[in-house]
């Protein structure tokens, strides 16, 4: 519990510091995000060989709040993910801080295009239940939380004074490895997401 609280406090401090510096010289925005996300995980029961899993592409919904200038952007992002497939249900809640660098900019007739690369860090909760272990009863395979981190890249398109569009790819590694099932080890290894967002600048 102490580790979880410390990680959450560190994340909030990191985000507030970056965001405060950005707000002082930038425009702020609110946005909505829709992503297609895949997760990779592994499960080992006792002495049996480890089994690797890869989820289907699942819709992930997000809310964004941030600030940006010509070179840098800081974003606070919350996302929700839920996947139900063949008796298994996978649920994630994620809060993260993203820092992006716009390495190029071009002005076209109707929009400004700025490609970027960046990094992110966040904290998440993860739950996986499955009724295949005991048919008719849902078994909780994982009910943990932890820090995740990763890299992203994408294209930011400013189409008017108040509207911007964003297409990105994010890849994250996680530290979630909790399982209440006796003699088992479950780990959520990584997540990959293609996302589209729309931002309102004010």
21 falls in which pLDDT band (50, 70, 90)? Answer: low
Banded model confidence at residue 2, pLDDT cuts 50, 70, 90: very low
Per mean pLDDT, which range of 50-54, 55-59, 172-176 is the poorest? 50-54
Lowest mean pLDDT among 30-34, 49-53, 169-173, 198-202: 49-53
Report the C-alpha gap between 183 and 18 in whole angstroms: 42
Q: What is the mean pLDDT of residues 33-45?
A: 89
CB 156 within 8 A of CB 118: no
Question: What pLDDT sits at residue 1?
Answer: 47
* More reliable by pLDDT, 154 or 57: 154
* Enclosing domain of residue 121: 2-201
pLDDT at residue 18, as a whole number: 52
pTM of the model: 0.81
pLDDT at 139 over 90: no
More confident residue, 88 or 182: 88
Number of domains in the chain: 1
More confident residue, 14 or 145: 145
Q: Residue 174 belongs to a domain with what CATH number? A: 2.40.160.20
User: Average pLDDT, whole number, for the chain?
Assistant: 83
């Amino acid at each position: 519990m102490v580790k979880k609280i410390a990680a959450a406090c560190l994340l909030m401090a990191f985000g507030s510091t970056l965001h405060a510096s950005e707000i002082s010289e930038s425009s702020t925005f609110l946005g909505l995000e829709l992503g297609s996300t895949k997760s990779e995980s592994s499960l080992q029961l006792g002495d049996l060989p480890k089994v690797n899993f890869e989820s289907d592409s699942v819709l992930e919904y997000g809310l964004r709040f941030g600030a940006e200038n010509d070179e840098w952007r800081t974003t606070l992002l919350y996302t929700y993910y839920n996947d139900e497939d063949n008796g298994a249900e996978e649920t994630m809640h994620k809060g993260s801080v993203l820092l992006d660098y716009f390495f190029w900019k071009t002005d076209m007739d109707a929009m400004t295009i700025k490609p970027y690369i960046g990094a992110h860090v966040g904290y998440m909760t993860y739950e996986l239940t499955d009724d295949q272990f005991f048919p008719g009863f849902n078994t909780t395979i994982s009910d943990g939380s932890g820090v995740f981190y990763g890299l992203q890249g994408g294209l930011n398109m400013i189409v008017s004074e108040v509207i911007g569009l964003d297409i990105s790819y994010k890849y994250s590694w996680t530290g979630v490895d909790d399982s209440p099932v006796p003699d088992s080890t479950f780990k959520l290894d990584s997540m990959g997401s293609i996302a589209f967002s729309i931002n309102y600048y004010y």
